[in-house]
A and B are shown apart, each in its own frame.
Chain A
Amino acid sequence: DAGITQSPRHKVTETGTPVTLRCHQTENHRYMYWYRQDPGHGLRLIHYSYGVKDTDKGEVSDGYSVSRSKTEDFLLTLESATSSQTSVYFCAISVRGADYGYTFGSGTRLTVV
């Protein structure tokens, strides 16, 4: 996972509280992505970014927002966490879209109780 760090690695939070997950890269890659991984659903795209302040929605974006004020940081916020958002969240980076493929972070395991 060289060059990409997710924090925190584990978090337990209560229903209704806001939660922010951070993805930090040192590779200066333009593209960054947030995925969630759940049993029976594989990896699903939440949001992605193709540059500073340029973001777009993925297939499961409801209940999530993102921000990218610097090239190196991509933040995922759960505005009001729900139990259905219990999941493992992965950040990924890419040099230029799909040309060079993805590099993934180690993941954040989030439990909403």
Chain B
Amino acid sequence: KQEVTQIPAALSVPEGENLVLNCSFTDSAIYNLQWFRQDPGKGLTSLLLIQSSQREQTSGRLNASLDKSSGRSTLYIAASQPGDSATYLCAVGDNAGKSTFGDGTTLTVKP
């Protein structure tokens, strides 16, 4: 059974800092990995999707990397802003179309 872990559970940084969120998984036979953002009381918004054959994806200030062999993915956020404050979740997809989610990292960016 796939297990997905996100550490730390919470992170607080001052505005402008670059930061890295971590996601680890136990079974390296993944199909893809997706990073989401969730604001309090809201649904999940997709940020980046990395296929198993890819090493990284970029969108604006966000960069996600994937290392299947070590069972790790990182989400890099450059020049953080207060508007980046949210919970970030990673989801590891299998070839049956299902995904296993981590519990998320709650990020607070202080002005």
Q: Identify which of A33, A40, A98, A107 contacts B32 (C-beta below 8 A).
A: A98
- For window 38-95 of A, CB contacts with B under 8 Å fall at 40-45, 48, 50, 58, 90, 92, 94
- The reply to whether B103 and A97 form a contact with Cβ atoms under 8 Å apart is no
Number of interface residues of B (CB under 8 A): 24
Closest residue of A by beta carbon distance from B45: A104
Closest residue of B by beta carbon distance from A91: B43
Closest residue of B by beta carbon distance from A98: B93
- The reply to whether A90 and B89 form a contact with Cβ atoms under 8 Å apart is no
Are A100 and B43 also in contact (CB < 8 A) when A48-B98, A58-B98 are?
no
Number of interface residues of A (CB under 8 A): 28
- The reply to whether A98 and B98 form a contact with Cβ atoms under 8 Å apart is yes
Chain B nearest Cβ from A73, distance in angstroms = 18
- The reply to whether B46 and A42 form a contact with Cβ atoms under 8 Å apart is no
Residues of A within 8 A of B46 (CB): 101-104
**B7 is an interface residue with CB less than 8 A from chain A:** no
How far, in whole Å, are A105 and B46 apart by their CA atoms in the complex?
A: 11
Instruction: Knowing that A98-B96, A106-B43 touch, tell me 7 more A-B residue pairs with CB under 8 angstroms.
Output: A50-B97, A96-B97, A98-B94, A98-B99, A99-B32, A101-B46, A103-B46
